[in-house]
Amino acid sequence: MAKRTIPTPPGKKAKKKPASKGWVVALLLIVLGGAGYYGYDMYQQREMERKAEEAARKARLEADRRLAEEMARLAAEKEEQDRLAAEEAERKRLAAEEEARKRKAAEEEAERLRKMNQNKGDTPTPAPEQPEQPEPEPSPEPSVYDKDLPMHGADSNSISARKEFDTMVETLIEKRDFDVFERSMSARIKESIQAYAGNGKLNYGQYKNNRNLMQAVDLCLLIRVAGSKALSELAAIEGDDNDNNGTDFLRWAILDKSRPLHQFLQSYLSQEGRDENMAHSINLFYTIWAEMEPKDRDKYLNLAIAGGLMNPGVCQSSGSYRDTNALILTVPEVCAYLRDMDKKRKLVTDIKKLSVSQLIHVVNVRLPQSEIDWAAENTNYTQANWNEAYSSIRYLMERAANNKDPYEKYSFEEIREEGGVCRDQGYFACNTGKCRGVPAVYITGDGDRGPHAWMVHLTDNVNWLQTNSYGYNSGRFTNPCSGRSQHESVLLSRGPKNSDAKMAPAADAMILADYLMRAGCSKEAHGTARFVTEAFPEETVSWAHYIKVLGHDKNNLPADSVWRKIDSDLLRLSKKNTELLDLAAEVQDTYLLADKNAASKQMAMRRSMTQLNKRGGDDRADLVISAVGRQAEVMAETANWPGLANLYRKQLKKYTKRGDIFEQLLHQYMESLGDKAPARAWNTLARDAEKLFEKHVLSDGSDFFKLKKEVSIQKLIASAWERAGNSRKAEKHNERADERLEKASQRYESDDD
């Protein structure tokens, strides 16, 4: 880039500047170039992201509502069918009794007449002719599912018991009467589980040794969640020349010694898969399986399961590659590619040794074959040092300062040749890593110097490494299974102690608790879910599942004392896992404070804020903002505008040194006021924010990225003055902000601009 020169006015001699100052400027540009930054207007970008997240949240809530309505409808239909069946059975019983009574009466009358004629010595009078009685309907033969089969105890693991259960499964797959099977097995599961969780506490050591019981639970949970219709359609899929049909797949998934269905359900629940995606996932699992050679199915089982876990959003995404004529590989095609490259030993990792929770961050790559081939030929970093791929992309300051877009297709080759900003560096490093079999996650977050993108990748098949975050602690990513936004600490906390293998008992218990919850066994479900929190108390998924099970039956929720104990445990354990503070907030809002008055809510939320400050406070900016927002929501509902002003005045003052938190709190403050607040409340907001901004936030503008953050904040203040009715001040702030940004951007204009 060529810096513009200013001509010396006539009559004046140009002062000779020391050469060292030029080196200082160059050094400053290099330092600035190392920082990550999105080259777009910060406030607008965050606003779009917020709206997108809000739309996604509303869509999930609507999906949950529709699912609840559908489940209620199905339950009502089932109840009505059971009622009609019971009435029909009772009608038949009464009719049979009436026929038997009439028959007996006729026989008695005939016998009476016979005896009377004999006594008179007359010829016996024939009995009156009886109407022909219909043949009674034969009792239906008991189905194979109703046969006496031991489900627990020593006999349940005998060879004969296992063979008999396998015969049931074979019959099920042939007849495809999944609902009949589930109804029959449900009664047996409820009876058998009393031996292991009847006292409200799971005896996992005994439960895990009952093969028939665990397989019945797996299959019944799949039927309940995926639905009998979806499974019947899957079983009806015709196979190829190798007979890889849906029936073969179900037989393999349920009966294979590697227990594929069980492993699939373990991963699905551990990754918080959503109920409405289960049918999609089991079909995707089948598609990947059908394309494998039989000899590869055990070796690449984790890869197939990871592919099956991809939610519809991942499968339907077109990725960031801009050439619409290039076909993006489907998830099954990605799995096939990785499998073939692994056989040729051309991947950086041995994907056969990676767990499902690691592989979901490989198979979610969305690229055409040409890009995947380019990565295979042109990236040769080791797994441990894949972070070098990030820094290999030259930082393009013009893109950051002036929104320069030098890409036609947004290909790996273009990014390497042209350079880019942090989001391009992160995109390149993460996606080339996935192409080479390296689990890598694209992380985004906001900080004092604006939005930033970096990466987290698996270094040694056990530990995850954060790269180029520059101290940001607000990084988040989207889980490709659940579709839920998660903090990067979920990855960074993974290690040998909470690997998939170590978490297997927790996953087993979650499968059982999930089914018991749906089958109406609340006490046993609660105790089984509690076992998970006791075995793995610091794991977010343990508590998230426990809360889900406890809150499943809205008409029969546990007492407040139970929720208070959970809230207390979450706050205590959050010292080691701050993600648990999010769950504590959910417990408070949904179960402890929902029917409380504003004063009680405020008191509880202040206690939560105190706990958060003790845990490090701004080390998790997202939790700080969420905690403040919950308090603000209560105040806004009661139109407590002075209280709202005091809350945000204190918090804004506290975070003047953290531009990201300051800006998000200010934006949240404005949303809390909304259209209901009077002009004087907006005037208070604008005045307080302006005072803090000019005294503590405003800088000399030498750091371009920090200046961009300040400009974004100043634009918010201008908007607040506009809402307060002071257009003059609003215009003044906007003009100052635009002037500062334009002046700073000019420093990075090239001769080509």
Three-state SS across 234-270? HHCCCCCCCCCCHHHHHHHHHHCCCCHHHHHHHHHHH
pLDDT at 136: 54
Average confidence (pLDDT) over 374-402: 93
Average confidence (pLDDT) over 731-750: 86
Mean residue pLDDT of the chain comes to 84
pLDDT at 49 over 90: no
What 3-state DSSP class applies to 710? helix
pLDDT at 517 over 80: yes
pLDDT at 195: 87
Strands 452-458 vs 464-467: parallel, antiparallel or unpaired: antiparallel
pLDDT at 474 over 60: yes
Tokens of 673: 């006021």
pLDDT at 226 over 90: yes
- The residue extents of the domains of the chain are 144-315, 639-753
Which is nearest to 246 in space by CA: 289, 203, 308?
Answer: 289
pLDDT at 371 over 90: yes
What band does 369 get if pLDDT is binned at 50, 70 and 90?
A: very high
Name the burial class of residue 557, with classes exposed (0-12), middle (13-18) and buried (19+) by CB atoms within 10 angstroms of its CB.
Answer: middle
For the chain, give the percent of residues with pLDDT over 70.
Answer: 80
Q: Which of 66-75, 431-440, 458-467 has the highest mean pLDDT?
A: 431-440
pLDDT at 307 over 60: yes
Q: Beta-carbon neighbour count of residue 428 at 10 Å? A: 23
What band does 624 get if pLDDT is binned at 50, 70 and 90?
A: confident
- CA-CA distances (angstroms) from residue 615 to 109, 317, 434, 540, 588? 92, 38, 35, 16, 18
Average confidence (pLDDT) over 529-552: 94
CA distance 594 to 314: 35
pLDDT at 29: 52
Tell me: the pLDDT tens digits for 664-720? 999 999 999 999 899 999 999 999 999 999 999 998 888 888 899 999 999 999 999
Tell me: the pLDDT tens digits for 244-303? 899 999 999 999 999 999 999 999 999 999 999 999 999 999 999 999 999 999 999 999
Average confidence (pLDDT) over 328-349: 96
What band does 219 get if pLDDT is binned at 50, 70 and 90?
A: very high
pLDDT at 36: 45
Identify the residue whose tokens are 């307060």. Answer: 724
Tell me: the pLDDT tens digits for 712-735? 999 999 999 999 999 999 999 999
Q: Beta-carbon neighbour count of residue 317 at 10 Å? A: 13
More confident site: 497 or 141: 497
Beta bridge mates, 445? 452
Which residues have a Cβ under 8 Å from the Cβ of 574 and sit 6 or more positions away? 580, 581, 584, 611, 615
Weakest mean pLDDT among 472-476, 606-610, 680-684: 606-610
CA distance 245 to 230: 15
